[in-house]
Amino acid sequence: MSLIVQKFGGTSVRDAERVMNVARIVTDTFAKGNDVVVVVSAQGDTTDDLIAKAEEINPKASRREKDMLLAAGEQISIALLAMAIEKLGYHATSLLGWQAGFETTSAHTSARIRRVNADRIREALDKHNIVVVAGFQGISRRGDITTLGRGGSDTSAVAIAAAMHADLCQIYTDVEGVYTADPRKVETARKLKEISYDEMLELATLGAQVLNNRSVEMAKKYNIELEVLSSLAKAPGTIVKEKTKMEKMLISGVAKDTDVARISVIGVPNIPGIAFKMFSKLSAKDINVDIILQSIGHDGKKDISFTVAKTRGREAVAALEEYMVSHGAKEVLYDDEVAKISIVGAGMESHAGVATKMFEALYDAQINIQMISTSEIKVSVLIDINEADKAVKAIHNKFFD
């Protein structure tokens, strides 16, 4: 007998018909003699709708109360799925995050899992129940409900697989696997048979929504092989694992991230310590800085540009403005009409000219590059947000046609 963890995202449980579809997949797996733990997300756009409701009442609501609200979405799905499983003649037990043993940090809206005490899940499995767990949520040491950040149900599934030493962890979604680009945006995107943790981690971090990056990080740490597949079509999916046997492609994918803003501090004094002081202001507020570009100084002045998450953009400007201007900078510019486009691939380590090929694709499409950053297995560029989809297509065509 195997222990299988199956996770279903919001679109997979969108309405009654989809919930019944999931119940059939889950009960088929159980009927083959497996123990099954199912993790589900909130139905359809429920989480977005709850966020909108909170905004309507108080945009500055505390993170604790936001978590209390957001966790409700998953409570609905687990109960409905358990009812659907019962309807098919099987026993099911639904569990909220805290009931399933998810202990987290108290960083509301982006809590991290400290550990999963799976005793209660185990107990329910021993009684031949299919266990349905609410993804995305847990409980802090103080006993408050927490959530793990958007897309966090993937991480919930991997955490259970790790804690219970599951034999298989399947992430069911609304596409057939991990593709070389978002298949909803690029018709020629190809489904990957397999991808390494490192490449998947980069893709997820750089905007490929199909897996949450923390879930990949955790899968790598505990060596949990993931299978990403469709809840709607019976087709082989993508395996995410340590080493892939596949012939190395030059790149494994193109990703787009629109949660980016560019900040430029113009005319700062060209003296030692300026970058340190400037970025200290941001780290004091826990604001992460991504791509950084500094101009060569002239006339004793230089410009420093960098990117931050759009959601923290205004706050970052506020943190810098007064300080920088009082320290001699001319002005602080802000632009959130930008997107970061990245290529990812382990093949790049051993091949020259990969970045050049990406830049050529952008040149062919007459798209201007504002900033560039590279690492061993990725190249990212910052461009105008209005050209983002065109850029992804152009780059994808260059590498895969």
Residue 73 interacts, among ligand ASP, ligand ADP, Mg ion, none and using kind-specific CB cut-offs from 5 to 8 Å, with ligand ASP
Q: How far is the CB of 186 from ligand ADP (least distance, A)?
A: 9
Q: How far is the CB of 237 from ligand ADP (least distance, A)?
A: 10
- Find, among 105, 100, 204, the residue nearest to 147 by Cα: 105
How far does CA 165 lie from the centroid of its chain? 23
The residue among 97 and 253 lying less far from ligand ADP, judged by its C-beta, is 253
Note whether 207 binds ligand ASP by CB under 6 A.
no
DSSP state of 297: P
The residue among 9 and 101 lying less far from Mg ion, judged by its C-beta, is 9
Secondary element (H or E) of residue 91? none
One character per residue 150-169, x = contact with Mg ion (rule: CB under 5 A): -x------------------
Residue 183 interacts, among Mg ion, ligand ADP, ligand ASP, none and using kind-specific CB cut-offs from 5 to 8 Å, with ligand ADP
Which residues face 339 on adjacent strands? 383
Secondary element (H or E) of residue 203? helix 197-205
The residue among 152 and 253 lying less far from ligand ASP, judged by its C-beta, is 152
Q: How far is the CB of 188 from ligand ADP (least distance, A)?
A: 13
- Find, among 227, 238, 219, 229, the residue nearest to 172 by Cα: 229
State the number of binding residues for ligand ADP (CB under 6 A): 19
Coil, helix or strand for 213?
helix
Q: How far is the CB of 132 from Mg ion (least distance, A)?
A: 18
DSSP state of 14: S
Note whether 135 binds ligand ADP by CB under 6 A.
no
Q: How far is the CB of 334 from Mg ion (least distance, A)?
A: 29
Note whether 387 binds ligand ADP by CB under 6 A.
no
- Residue number of the CB closest to ligand ADP reads 9
One character per residue 152-181, x = contact with ligand ASP (rule: CB under 6 A): xx----------------------------
Looking only at residues 24 through 43 of this chain, which bind ligand ADP when binding is defined by CB under 6 A? 41
As a dihedral over the C-alpha atoms of residue 224, residue 229, residue 235, residue 237, rounded to 10 degrees, the angle is: -50
Q: How far is the CB of 51 from ligand ASP (least distance, A)?
A: 9
What residues have CB less than 8 Å from 247, skipping those under 6 apart?
none
- Find, among 237, 253, 209, the residue nearest to 346 by Cα: 253
| b/e map 313-338, b = 16+ CB within 10 Å | beebbebbbeebeeeebeebeebbeb
Tokens of 329: 């900078």
CA angle 260, 381, 181 (to 5 degrees): 85
DSSP state of 191: B
Note whether 184 binds ligand ADP by CB under 6 A.
yes
Secondary element (H or E) of residue 363? helix 354-364
Stretch that binds ligand ADP, among 75-83, 202-210, 320-328, 354-362 (CB under 6 A): 202-210
Q: How far is the CB of 39 from ligand ASP (least distance, A)?
A: 9
What are the residues binding ligand ASP (CB under 6 A)? 9-10, 41-42, 47, 73, 135-136, 150-153
